[in-house]
Amino acid sequence: MQIRIINLNRTRPADFRMKAENQVLHDLCKRILESDAAIRFVGIPNKMGNQLVSCYRTGLVPLLTPREVEIFAMESVLRMKTRKDYESKLGKPIYSFALYQKLKRVTISLENKEYPILMASMDLEADHENIIVNKILPLINEEGL
């Protein structure tokens, strides 16, 4: 007698891995957000710029719409890819920083082809270098990203 096992659950093993990865990314963003009160937003887009994870400080009214955040993420992924063109001569890009009139923003390079960057924004008063170097980067490194 031959026994045949039918998997009625249509979820593939890759789906489970993706859900687990997304949970790790969400937990990372939440930990980064909670690491300093001056952090406004933390997000991780995929290689196409679509947001996988977005976390905002409680009570914050975002300056950009969700669509604008997505466009900004697409542009950020593209800019980080162009920086990698010079990696052989300048070394690996670690992060890029921008000061705007209303906030500070950092894009951090991740070691993952599917989600290549982490984006964060901070209040103008934030000690951004301390936050990036002593809070955000150690948490990213802890996750092996």
Which stretch of 21-25, 61-65, 105-109, 126-130 has the lowest confidence by average pLDDT?
A: 21-25
Q: Are strands 117-122 and 39-45 parallel, antiparallel or unpaired?
A: antiparallel
Instruction: Give all domains of the chain, ordered by start, each with its CATH number.
Output: 38-142 (3.30.450.30)
CA angle in degrees (0–180, nearest 5) for 120-115-96: 40
Segment 57-76 shows an average pLDDT of 92
Which stretch of 5-14, 22-31, 48-57, 77-86 has the lowest confidence by average pLDDT?
A: 5-14
* pLDDT, tens only, 23-62: 889 999 999 999 999 999 999 999 988 888 999 999 999 9
Global pTM reads 0.83
Judge contact between 82 and 95, C-beta under 8 A: no
CA angle in degrees (0–180, nearest 5) for 44-48-49: 40
